[in-house]
Amino acid sequence: MAQKIFKKVPFYKRKYLINRAFQIPFTIRLILVNLSVISISYALNYYLLFRFNYLAEEMGLPVDHYFYKFIRSELAHMSLIFLGFFAITVAVISIYSLFLSHRIVGPLENIKNCFKNIEDDFNAHEKANFKGTSFREDDFFKEFAKAYNDHMQVIQSKLKDKQMGEHTLKLVQEDLSENQNDKEKSKKAA
């Protein structure tokens, strides 16, 4: 079983967006989950500040009381903090989901390319040339590489057995035709 050797490529030269159809929706879903969690937290904090406003009204504080100004300024600060926190978490989640999805999609693309290479080899040379595959150390689904390699070795051995059988059949047919030709020659000679 052949093993691919991965050269250590600097991170800025790597291709991280391998399968856009999976990776972009994956990232968007994580951002939407983040947005919903932060929105719920914001709504709960807003409700708390609104309750303080309501309690101040029940206590009979005048509308121009400093407490109301304090609540409004805290609401503005809280909104800025939540907006900044949302922006930071979106950036972190976007980058992390790109790396995470790369570790999911990379091995699957690797196996897809191996199947494609075998298909191309078979179409070009009428025989499958199995080279084997391996995954990077920190990829997910490492067991797929072993299963793929084991499966392809079984297929390759069965193909060799079939080719050997066809070759043997051809030799037997040639031997029979030679024997038949020898018999016909001996009958003509006699």
Consecutive 10-residue runs of the chain (190 residues): their mean pLDDT? 53 70 89 94 90 88 87 90 93 90 81 75 58 72 76 73 65 66 68
Whether pTM > 0.95 for this model: the answer is no
Output the six-digit token pair for 46.
């807003």
| Model pLDDT, residue 2 | 47
**Phi/psi of residue 85, each to 5°?**
-65, -40
Amino acid at 4: K
Q: Pick from 139, 66, 71: which is nearest to 102 by CA?
A: 139
Contact between 29 and 73 under an 8 Å Cβ cutoff? The reply is no
CA distance 46 to 53: 11
| Model pLDDT, residue 167 | 62
User: What does the CA dihedral 34, 40, 44, 50 come to, rounded to 10 degrees?
Assistant: 110
